[in-house]
Amino acid sequence: MTELEVVGFRPDPAQYAWTFGGVKPVMGVKPGTVLEVWTEDAFGGRVRGPDDLVSRVIEFPFVNPQTGPFYVEGAEPGDTLAVHFVSVEPSRDWAASTTVPLFGALSATHATAMLHEPLPEVVWIYEVDRRRRTVTYRAARGDHVVDLPLDPMHGTVGVAPAGFEARSSLVPDAHGGNMDTPEMRAGTTCYLGVNVEGALLSLGDGHCRQGEGETCGVAVEAAMDTVLVVDLVKGAATPWPRLETDSHIMTAGSARPLEDAFRIAHADLVQWLASDFGLDPLDGYQLVTQVSESPVANVCDPNYTFVAKLRKRYLPERTLYGGVHARLRDMGRAYLAERR
């Protein structure tokens, strides 16, 4: 293993990115670089107690700050950016969740207009115990207390969109963005199609944990210390975000209605089986029908996100994207071994 190039970056609040696209890069990095970054929580650290209602402490649209963007040297449209998450760890001993007026899957929203009043704003503060690997839920209007497993992930990871667009950090789409899938955890490699020179990678929206769907629209939101390895696969197009772990391949589709997000994810999975695994598309369609896993990522963002998963053991043995997942995984393990 060659010596790792490790770069650290902790943004000043003035450096937060609030969109994907339309933002100048904070720094350039070479492919193969290990990035040590800090990300603020979705509330900018302003929700710290039961009286910190989002309507009081947040000035919209300044929500969901991103760390980045990072200019990846040599990245051009038509390439694929590979982002491997080595570690994702809460940087505080507390985290927050809330209800937000006119937001969430079980509330009236601007797009689902109703005559009833918005749901009340309530704040839940979670205790984070990194040693025990738990977060503690306490009912705000009762006495129920339960420890939940700590399962840190990033709700948001993405690149600049195509067509000179700038998209809100709340929006998931083909560029990635606010997909809110718990699959974006340590050990996962995320593949993103490059749309502009340098790719312009940003990430944020750390969650100590999140149920599938992120039903109320807010997970256990936390600032994160994250280590990732960034690499580049030249000449490989990736139409929608794809993920790879040691056990699964996955695709993420984002759209409204939810059925279209489901269709995008599963269609891209079938197309991936055809292009990289040599299956006839209809054979791939049949296999996906019988063995796919389909977790809902979010049903609350401006676009909804579905993930289609398939276990590698059901597939022909293939090296994907030139074997970048295994290579970055090994780099991540070497990084962790050096710091023990």
87 pLDDT higher than 60: yes
pLDDT at 183: 98
Distance (Å, whole) CA 288 – CA 308: 9
Report pLDDT digits (tens) over 228-257: 999 999 999 999 999 999 999 999 999 999
Report pLDDT digits (tens) over 30-48: 999 999 999 999 999 999 9
Q: Are 219 and 299 a contacting pair, CB within 8 Å? A: no
Distance (Å, whole) CA 116 – CA 110: 12
Model confidence at 339, pLDDT cuts 50, 70, 90, reads confident
Report pLDDT digits (tens) over 293-304: 999 999 999 999
Q: Are 67 and 38 a contacting pair, CB within 8 Å? A: yes
Q: Angle, nearest 10°, between helix axes 258-277 and 281-291? A: 120
Nearest-5° Cα angle at 27, 154 to 5: 80
Topology of domain 6-338, per CATH?
Jelly Rolls (2.60.120)
Looking at residue 27, its amino acid is M
- Structure pTM? 0.96
- The widest CA-to-CA distance across the chain, in whole angstroms, is 62
2 pLDDT higher than 90: no
The H or E element spanning position 88 is strand 80-90
Domain spans of the chain? 6-338
* Interval 160-182 mean pLDDT: 97
E strand map for 43-105:
66-72, 80-90, 94-98
Query: What's the length of the chain?
Result: 340
1 pLDDT higher than 60: no
Model confidence at 340, pLDDT cuts 50, 70, 90, reads confident
Report pLDDT digits (tens) over 114-166: 998 999 999 999 999 999 999 999 999 999 999 999 999 999 999 999 999 99
Is the four-CA dihedral 173, 177, 181, 187 of positive or negative sign? positive
55 pLDDT higher than 80: yes
Strand 33-39 to strand 6-9: parallel, antiparallel, or no bridges (unpaired)? parallel
